Amino acid sequence: MFYIISGTNRPGSRSHEVAKLVKPLYEKNFAQVEIINLEALPLQELSGQSYGDGTKPAAVTEAIEKLNSAEGVLVICPEYNGSMPGALKYFIDFWSYPKTFEYRPVAFIGLGGQFGGLRPVEHLQQVFGYRNAFIFPNRVFLINVWNVLKDGKIHDDTVNELLTVQANNFAKFIKGLNDNKLSANFFNN
């Protein structure tokens, strides 16, 4: 299963709209694709006792278990105050190391103002790089996302082309890793 994380819990978020728009691009390359929507996860029920093997809300445990066997993960991340939303980092902090991260293929789409979410994506690349994920180098940034995304559609041909190329090449990247038994699912399960 391939997972798309819509990286904020803000109701009505553009990240979730983008997740729904790119899902068909990944369905052309992967048999099953599912969106993990942070808005639908009860992150507020996590507590200090929830780290590591601590008790977590069932829906959060289930989402982490899905990621623990993901063929690949696409993170769609908006810029909040020069970085990723706290909700996304909070969710990530309950993942297991090495199982969720190590050798896991991961790609990123950023959303924001004039830098299109460059900063949060680079911060995520640091986090996932530190945790030994296989980071796909092609990133896509939705600059001034409020102009690009309107009425549930992306009105920029270049952005649509970049999203298609990213999806197809990320699938090739994952296939290359799998053909050589290098990706996470060959080690962790």
Ligand X SMILES: Cc1cc2nc3c(=O)[nH]c(=O)nc-3n(C[C@H](O)[C@H](O)[C@H](O)COP(=O)(O)O)c2cc1C
Whether the link from the prior residue into 98 is cis, omega within 30° of 0, is yes
Alpha carbons 121 and 99: distance in angstroms, whole number: 22
Angle at CA 122, nearest 5°, toward 119 and 125? 155
Q: Which is nearer to ligand X, 72 or 117 (CB)?
A: 117
Measured from the CB atom, is 55 or 126 closer to ligand X? 126
Q: Which is nearer to ligand X, 11 or 52 (CB)?
A: 11
Give the separation between CA 144 and CA 115, rounded to whole angstroms.
8
Binding mask 37-76 for ligand X (x = CB under 6 A): ----------------------------------------
The answer to whether 77 and 15 are in contact (CB under 8 A) is yes
Asked whether position 13 contacts ligand X by CB under 6 A, the answer is: yes
| CB-based contacts of 179, cutoff 8 Å, min separation 6 | none
Question: If binding is defined by CB under 6 A, does position 159 make contact with ligand X?
Answer: no
> CB–CB of 185/102 below 8 Å?
no
In one-letter notation, the amino acid at residue 180 is N
Decide: is 26 part of the binding site for ligand X (CB under 6 A): no
Can residue 110 be called a binding residue for ligand X (CB under 6 A)? no
- Residue whose CB is less far from ligand X, 150 or 172: 150
Tell me: does residue 82 bind ligand X (CB under 6 A). Answer: yes
**Interface contacts to ligand X, rule CB under 6 A:** 8, 10, 13-15, 78-82, 111-113, 115, 145
